[in-house]
Amino acid sequence: MTEAPKKLHIKTYGCQMNVYDSERMAEAMSAQGYELTDDVAAADMVLLNTCHIREKAAEKVYSDLGRLRPFKEAKPDLKIGVAGCVAQAEGDEILRRSDLVDLVVGSQSYHKLPDLVARAGNGARPVETEFPAEDKFDHLPARPRQARPTAFLTVQEGCDKFCAFCVVPYTRGAEVSRPAEKILREARGLVEKGVKEITLLGQNVNAYHGAGEGGDWSLARLVRALAKVDGLERIRYTTSHPNDMEDDLIAAHGEEPKLMPYLHLPVQSGSDRILKAMNRKHTAEEYIRLIERIRAARPDMMMSGDFIVGFPGESDQDFADTMTLIREINYGMAYSFKYSPRPGTPAANAKGAVPAEIADARLQELQALLTEQQRAAQSAMVGREVGVLFEKPGRMEGQWVGKSDYLQAVHVKGEGLAPGVLARVRVTASAPNSLAGELIG
Ligand code: SAH
Ligand code: SF4
Ligand code: F3S
């Protein structure tokens, strides 16, 4: 008689790298006889893969832990693990704050998860938050559990930039690039399982410099090699830093049709004074000129970004400069946040805190402008022809949903559509967050 599989429930917070990591942890645990479940009540183990970027994200973990108490009471041998960036940042402090947690595993130690799970329980509460010298990816299987047309692939991890507000250099450690051949092998494996689009991930993905045939490979070189993989139709990468946007990468955008015309390039602020205080090491003007060069290589490039309002010392004029930059660039989509002081970062001790009401008002004003730009970008698509990679059925009978080259959701009714079908579509209508279209030909 074989043992019934145990059930693992994973909740993922934060960025795409956490999504990728959760998949890898699920794969590592499936080798230990754990199957994924969406149902917490059915789980033998719950893993929270956490995010430390803003206070709200980090505190959410503790309220979610509180919500697990009845499940643990109903099933005392339920194991609860905390992984990800809160685990990395807070370590055994988590055990003190919550008696429900059985194990803590930092983001660099996921290959040790099966061992930690085996050790946890009966009073043992293992914590693993080292930055080990070995390559965790060598120990984590990359076997997609289900066929999906899109996948993430981590190529670079960590950050050496130390923006004054940001915890990532501490939670993810120094920049490390994976060797090109390992990435190519993983990509080919994904394509064999039906993946058509790969998003290369890194905290500073365009700082990628991995060992490859003939020496050091840039991200552009990696992209060009990936573009030669038969069956891989689309390549994206995220997140980039303006200072690492090298000429060969910009050129690749003009020359490599598989590289999609959508670029997430955070700037955070349009004020040189604030950029300097943030330690971003570039000016607003340099960012604007950079995007001009990118658009010269790829005129239809859709830009996306991140903004922080209410950074310490931000004046009305600084904020006005950010609004000016946004008008100048014209974003297709963007994320914006109210500054959240993070323990251990240089800005946490900075003078000139912006009162909450002012920061809230600025955030509203900035989001109104970004929403208006996004709406305009969406309606400018009407009448245009665009590639769409279909992912899943839509809500209406016979309707399918996919993503455009510019990462917009597109709804289409048509014959022969299925996950993984890449088709040309004429856009017929737009809404703020999605498009409708019809198949061409
Ligand atoms: N490596 C990426 C992403 C970093 S985190 C980059 O360089 O942009 C994603 C976004 O969260 C950041 O771009 C920033 O806009 C926001 N962010 C980071 N720390 C923050 C903080 N302390 N308060 C508010 N927003 C923050
Ligand atoms: Fe954080 Fe700056 Fe590094 Fe991005 S570049 S991860 S914002 S420190
Ligand atoms: Fe959050 Fe860590 Fe990603 S702090 S944004 S999960 S790198």
Query: For 99-109, how does the pLDDT look when each residue is reduced to its tens digit (9 = 90+)?
Result: 999 999 998 89
Whether residue 180 sits in one domain with residue 281: yes
Same domain, 223 and 260: yes
SS3 for 323? helix
Q: How far is the CA of 292 from the centre of ligand 1 (A)?
A: 24
How high is the pLDDT of residue 143? 63
128-155 pLDDT per residue, tens:
998 876 677 777 766 655 668 999 999 9
**For ligand 1, what atom is nearest to the CA of residue 342?**
22
Q: Is the peptide bond before 239 cis (omega within 30 degrees of 0)?
A: yes
Residue 63 in domain: yes
How many angstroms separate the CA atoms of 55 and 60, rounded? 9
Map tokens 């390992």 to a residue: 182
Please report the DSSP string for 253-314 in residue order: HHH-TTB-SEEE---B-S-HHHHHHTT--S-HHHHHHHHHHHHHHSTTPEEEEEEEE--TT-
Is 159 annotated to bind a ligand? Reply is yes
Question: Whole domain around residue 217: which residue ranges?
Answer: 136-379
Q: Does 85 appear as a known binding residue?
A: yes
Whether the pLDDT of residue 2 is over 80: the answer is no
Q: Using the 3D structure, point to which of 128, 149, 164 is the last residue of a domain.
A: 128
| 188 and 79 in a common domain | no
Q: In this structure, are 332 and 197 located in the same domain?
A: yes
Q: Taking Cα atoms as reference points, which of 219, 297, 222 lies closest to residue 254? A: 297
Tens digits of residue pLDDT in 340-356: 999 999 999 999 999 99
In 193-233, at which residue ranges do the beta strands (DSSP E only) sit? 197-201, 209-212, 215-218
Residue ranges lining ligand 2, Cβ < 6 Å: 159, 161-163, 166, 168-169, 203-204, 241
Q: What CATH number is associated with residue 389?
A: 2.40.50.140
Total domains present in the chain = 3
Last residue of a domain, one of 329, 356, 379: 379
Residues 100 and 147 in one domain: no
Q: What is the pTM of this model?
A: 0.95
Mean pLDDT of all residues belonging to the chain: 95
Contacts of 26 (CB under 8 A, 6+ apart): 8, 10, 34, 36, 145
Amino acid 242: pLDDT: 98
51-105: pLDDT as tens digits: 999 999 999 999 999 999 999 999 999 999 999 999 999 999 999 999 999 999 9
Is there a single domain that holds both residue 153 and residue 101? no
**How far apart are the CA of 270 and the centre of ligand 1, in A?**
15
Confirm whether residue 39 is marked as ligand binding: no
Based on the domain organization, do 326 and 392 belong to the same domain? no
Q: Is 156 in the pocket of ligand 1 (CB under 6 A)?
A: no
CA distance 414 to 436: 12
pLDDT in tens, 37-48: 999 999 999 999
pLDDT at position 69 is: 97
24 annotated ligand binder: no
Instruction: Check if 337 has its Cβ closer than 6 Å to any atom of ligand 1.
Output: yes
